[in-house]
Amino acid sequence: MQLQGKVAILTGAGSGIGETAAKLFADQGAHVVIVDWNETQAVRVADEINRKQPPNGRALAVKTDVSSEQQVKRLVQQTITAFGSIDILVNNAAVVLPKELEDISEDEWNRTVDVNLKSVFLMIKHCIPELRKHRGTIVNLASLNGLMGQRQNPVYSATKGAVIAMTKALALDYAQDGVRVNCLCPAGVSTPLLEEWISRQPDPAETVQALKDMHPLGRSATPEEVAKAVLYLASDASAFITGVALPVDGGASLGY
């Protein structure tokens, strides 16, 4: 029970990495707030967690568009009303925009940057007063795309590179408060986001093989493997680690 008595907010927890991390956190005793703009998915995940008995943590689903400051403020208030504090923030909600730059409209750019980057700013801005009180932790989901280039994914890559840079800057700002800020850089992870990206590629079968080839360990990660790394950075197991961008990539960033 690594997170007994902790309260964690996880964005984009209605599916994929966020869902898996939320379930793992609750297994470890944390009360979890399942944040997603897809209410059906958020409620499903919360219900699945709440079917388990204590000492498993409790879950609350809160429908939120994390790119809206008004909705983020309301989410933070609802969390404090329900669970009394915030100890852990996991910024995971994201969208992809797998297109070449000339084909991207101004609206698509704005939407992607708002969901992937502005949301991290808004969530931290409104959670930091509570996180300071409890010497809490922040884990941002960046991506290998923030460390290395990927063809036909320039805006997603730009937002993830910015999340890495902001993680390091904020780790410096909040170290004096005992608040640690870290991020993870997964490569291929078998989630709906990856499946959607694969299906939009010109040759999906070839893309699946390329994904296998790019990981020296020979496969994409499972959401559980990434969720365990989120737990590590969120828990006291990583008490002296702040400002890192941890690859969880089966060796994909090592070279070729």
Judged by the rule CB under 6 A, the positions of this chain that interact with ligand ADP are: 11-12, 14-18, 36-38, 41, 64-67, 92-95, 115, 189, 191-193
Indicate the residue among 4 and 77 with the shorter CB distance to ligand ADP.
Answer: 77
The question of whether 174 is a catalytic residue gets the answer no
The minimum distance between CB 33 and ligand ADP, in angstroms, equals 12
Residue 117, Cα to own-chain centre: how many angstroms?
11
Indicate the residue among 93 and 170 with the shorter CB distance to ligand ADP.
Answer: 93
The minimum distance between CB 5 and ligand ADP, in angstroms, equals 26
Quick one: angle between helices 39-50 and 16-27, nearest 10? 20
Phi, psi of 212 (to 5 degrees): -65, -45
Q: List the Cα angle 2/8/14 in 5-degree steps.
A: 115
Indicate the residue among 28 and 143 with the shorter CB distance to ligand ADP.
Answer: 143
What distance in Å separates the CA atoms of residue 235 and residue 1, rounded to the nearest whole number? 10
Give the pair of three-digit tokens for residue 127.
Answer: 């959670």
Q: How many C-beta atoms surround the C-beta of residue 217 within 10 A?
A: 12
In the complex, residue closest to ligand ADP by CB: 16
The active-site residue out of 156, 174, 232, 256 is 156
The minimum distance between CB 54 and ligand ADP, in angstroms, equals 26
Q: Please list the active-site residues.
A: 156
